[in-house]
Structure 1
Amino acid sequence: MGFFQLRTEQQVNASLGEVWDFISSPKNLKEITPDHMGFEITNQASDNMYPGMIISYKVSPILGIKMNWVTEITHVKDMEYFVDEQRIGPYTMWHHEHHLEENKHGVMMKDIVSYQPPFGILGNLANSLFIKKQLKEIFDYREEAVNRYFGK
């Protein structure tokens, strides 16, 4: 079974408080997810993220097929980082770290996504053929959406 990571960085020209408020609000997830993924939150998610928070949603990551995905916010350090982990969904394992670092230009936003596709060697092949590429496209879209929101 393969274990993979995607790491991204994005400089955001805004204050730490503005970026934290935007990126840590589940209500903004739809705004930073490509439309073709059909993202839809299916539970009442609070604006204020906290450890133990459960977010459930429907998403269509492959061939437009709707699936349920449930994540839990496992760690939160206000204005610094939070972690979401898949509880139900398409991956055998999904662990997503969101880090914010204030600097002289605003905020450096860093993400580390550690994941394991299902189905062992077939999942490894799927990762090589399309999963890795699709995740990169999702984060590229998110970068564009964040730039539109805060101005670049």
Structure 2
Amino acid sequence: MLHTIKTRQLIKSDLSSIWSFMSDPGNLARITPAYLGFKILSEDTGRGMHAGQIIEYYVRPLLGIKLHWVTEITHVEQGKLFVDEQRFGPYSFWHHKHFLEETQEGVIMTDLVHYKLPLGPLGKLANTLFVKRQLDGIFRYRYQQVEQWFTGPITN
């Protein structure tokens, strides 16, 4: 069974600035809670996002255990959307769509994540007990960091 997370955020800034920030994989660590020990290993993150781009990193989502995670950027529509999909990592399925929509009030950023955990019934139980809660917390943290980045000083 796939699980879904959907978030929306109005960012009071221009589309170009938001796209530039969100499409730079180097900014992932800035919007990820420090307790996850997020570290990008890829070297081509500064050349702009493109379909086929592989992003490799370490993350410590559970009990400080370091996990190797590899995602591929599979779709990019400049200034509108991009999609990252897990190739190797903690999920048996991870598909994350990032949408940006310019409005008169600012830019609406929508994230839509579909994911599935391994281990069948144990994965489903883990999702109920802590994974969903942790993912919700990560997206709340990201929301706050993006808000601060575009409206004032960012804190970690």
Bin of the TM-score, shorter chain as denominator length: over 0.9
TM-score, normalised to structure 1, is 0.97
| Separation (CA, whole Å) in 1 of partners of 2:41 and 2:31 | 17
Gaps spanning 5+ residues in structure 1: where? none
Residues 117 and 124 in structure 1, CA contact (< 8 A), matched pair in contact too: yes
Residue 29 of structure 2 aligns with an amino acid whose one-letter code is: K
Alignment deviations for residues 97-137 of structure 1 (CA, whole Å, 9 cap, x no partner): 00000001110000000000110111011101111100000
| Separation (CA, whole Å) in 1 of partners of 2:115 and 2:26 | 24
Map of 1:26-37 to 2, 5 A cutoff? 26-37=25-36
SS at match of 2:45: coil
In structure 1, the partner of 2:37 is 38
| Separation (CA, whole Å) in 2 of partners of 1:66 and 1:45 | 22
SS at match of 1:29: helix
Map of 1:21-100 to 2, 5 A cutoff? 21-47=20-46, 48-100=48-100
Map of 1:10-21 to 2, 5 A cutoff? 10-21=9-20
In structure 1, the partner of 2:112 is 112
| Separation (CA, whole Å) in 2 of partners of 1:147 and 1:46 | 23
Relative contact order, higher structure (CA 8 A, sep 6+): 1
Report deviation, 1:43.
1.6
Report deviation, 1:46.
2.7
| Separation (CA, whole Å) in 2 of partners of 1:54 and 1:31 | 19
Gaps spanning 5+ residues in structure 2: where? none
TM-score, normalised to structure 2, is 0.95
| Separation (CA, whole Å) in 2 of partners of 1:43 and 1:151 | 29
Residues 26 and 45 in structure 1, CA contact (< 8 A), matched pair in contact too: no
| Separation (CA, whole Å) in 1 of partners of 2:124 and 2:67 | 21
How many percent identity over aligned positions?
49
